[in-house]
Structure 1
């Protein structure tokens, strides 16, 4: 059974078994109101192999509470003691550090992009153990379209036996309804459909659904310490573009659903599916650049990787196409930054990171376009692994929030 925020009972179609679907953005796992087990587990994750007194300092919990939680987490197989790290010759009762047990449990990730879908297997530290990309199926029914990648994910995970699946992160683009119980994706031809029914038909254990840009922001805020305080504007660009604001690690999620920057007017004559021209996504997405390069005879096929390879091999025209895209992105980022005025801006996605010389042009265009005081742009920590990390991190969120509860549900999960 999937876990998380429930869709309303009256919205659930008849004949479909009860499924609870999570579509929530990132939430911190330390601080007031956080369960003691989650606070201790989160502190161990951040500190590596701490002693119990270090966990007391990190969490603000009592020694007795920390010890009870450590004992429970070790018994559950989430933590393990490391007596081999105790300094030889220590006087008195030895202090034994603990660390996350990386062998017993894991998560699966499925990131659905416009052109490519990423399948990933991840560990409890937020690390990706293995990942592959497959073409995104084109089918008007999202449940049918996702059935193939879900089956392939099960086979892909089976190649790494010995771990128990605690959660599966499903990261999707398109549009979730304000209640987050219906999913549609016009560019993939998906009409809005009940999210619970889609998830039920995947046949995967413990699915947690997170919108694409929120999953990207969640990975950064969870695994990158420089973006977990204050306000951060996360901008994602690859085939699609998106932006979201986080405040102290929490996504700003309006009740009516997330906004969009896809149709910001940044110039250009590329037609958009909305009927206009010059929209940010239509002008700066991978397909637009690849089509332009192919039409100019620079590459054999309209594939963005070929354009980047040509630019890296010294083709000036390919370089110019990519830098023109970078300037459009910089202009778009400036428009959003001026509207929200965040403490920092993080750029994620291969449109920013695949061609490294382009980042300088993003920054230059941003500086020229913004009306606010200068601010440095930060590139994503994860580079080309972003989609796999985001999908695995989406699955980790419920585990970090309730580690003992996640293991209690594990007997119903399949082994990797």
Structure 2
């Protein structure tokens, strides 16, 4: 199967044998075939077939240079991802800045930089040209796929409606596919961040449910189920409208979470009350709002794990502790649940940019490289 144009994102851990073997090599490599059989529960014959096919596709390589010279018996060549011949391109479109990135097959960033997010939809073509020029710097590698992560409403054809930017029906996916000449996948940015937690680090538990919360200048939430990010056909849902009590941050004491999270609401509240934006009154209330909102969604869904990310969660001098305290006070479930910070920290936008492309490859590596 040969993909062209815009291909729906696949934010999941693939279940097919080739996907299972590729994922196991990414997580455990360098690794021998014997270890792959243990990690995947596949038969040795199936492992050998998948290794041969993945090698021919250029996704993995044997590394005889890593054989232990002091080992006993016939040496077994370890396997690793081929990090030298392939790459993917990524774009994370934020409210203020857009991050452009090139990464290898394992998600290691080869180069990235941020540019101003255009306010006019007509300027989106410039972003595509900039990413094309960035990919051209790595002409020694084959550009396999590209991905876009963006706020707003994203459909499977790569068209974006972004209310914060006043974008309406902007065909980002088709424009980027034309500029790069490779398949492109597009998805909502918080969904992409949740996928990065599954696919670009040592794995969290794939089984069960998880919530991923992001809060910076905008807020969002994604749900993961058994190693797959939930992607509703009609686009991601929204939590920005959820009501919160915020006597200091909101003039009337009641607002939506979107209206009180971020630097702009803190600045406005500081001016009203004659205090500093980073004063304890403001950061304490923002932590309270975040903890209570996460608890509200926990009580509805009752996930097995919760991951939080974004500057708003890290804005308090005491870190995540005040948010956790507010969460513990607000939740109605008796089972204790610790909020886990994202493993990517300030690199969360970078990871979101490249995982959209990489996830398609890891979901079905043979189809993606055909």
Q: What TM-score results when the alignment is normalised by the length of structure 1?
A: 0.79
Equivalent residues in 2 for 1:336-415, closer than 5 Å: 336-353=297-314, 357-373=318-334, 374-408=336-370
Structure 1, unaligned runs of 5 or more: 5-18, 300-306, 312-316, 409-416
Instruction: Show the 5 A alignment for 1:8-407.
Output: 19-22=5-8, 24=9, 26-30=11-15, 34=16, 36-139=17-120, 141=121, 144-176=122-154, 182-193=159-170, 197-200=174-177, 202-203=179-180, 205-222=182-199, 223-268=201-246, 278-292=255-269, 317=279, 319-353=280-314, 357-373=318-334, 374-407=336-369
Equivalent residues of 1:235, 1:241 under 8 A apart: yes
Q: Which region of structure 1 is more displaced relative to structure 2, 49-58 or 222-231? A: 222-231
Q: CA–CA distance in 1 between the matches of 2:302 and 2:3?
A: 35
Cα distance, 1:326 vs. partner?
Answer: 1.8
> How far apart, in 1, do the equivalents of 2:119 and 2:322 lie?
34
In the TM superposition, residue 25 of structure 1 has moved relative to its aligned partner by 5.1
What is the number of residues matched between the two proteins?
A: 365
Contact 2:223 2:230 in 1 (8 A): yes
CA RMSD of aligned residues (A): 2.8
Q: Which residue pairs with 1:413 in the alignment? A: none
Q: Which digits, 9 at most, give the CA deviation of each residue in 1:261-316, with x for residues without a partner? A: 001111337689xxx961101211333224545778888xxxxxxx6xxx5xxxxx
1:218-275 deviation line (CA, Å, top 9, x unaligned): 1112235224221111111111111122111222333443221001111337689xxx
Cα distance in 2 for partners of 1:152, 1:196 equals: 15
- Of stretches 66-75 and 338-347 in structure 1, the one that deviates more from structure 2 is 66-75
Deviation string 1:189-239 (CA, Å, 9 cap, x unpaired) is 112355664555554622111111110111112235224221111111111
Stretches of structure 2 that go unaligned for 5 or more consecutive residues are none
CA-CA distance at 1:156 after TM superposition: 3.0
TM norm structure 2: 0.88
- Separation (CA, whole Å) in 2 of partners of 1:99 and 1:295: 58
By how many angstroms is 1:47 displaced? 1.1
SS of the residue aligned with 2:369?
Answer: helix
Partner Cα distance (2:231, 2:367) in 1? 26
CA distance in 2, matches of 1:29, 1:252: 14
- Please give the alpha-carbon distance, in whole angstroms, between the structure 2 residues aligned to 1:334 and 1:265: 13
CA change 1:129–1:287 in 2 (3 A) is farther
Residues 256/151 of structure 1: CA separation in 2 closer, same or farther (3 Å cut):
closer
Shift of residue 354 of structure 1? 5.4
Which piece of structure 1 moves more, 339-348 or 144-153? 144-153
State whether residues 266 and 328 of structure 1, in contact with CA within 8 Å, keep that contact through their aligned partners in structure 2: yes
Give the Cα–Cα distance (whole angstroms) in 1 for the partners of residues 165 and 327 of structure 2: 31
Verify the 8 A CA contact 1:231 1:245 in the aligned structure 2. yes
Q: Deviations over 1:98-139 (max 9, x none)?
A: 111111111111000111111111121122233222211101
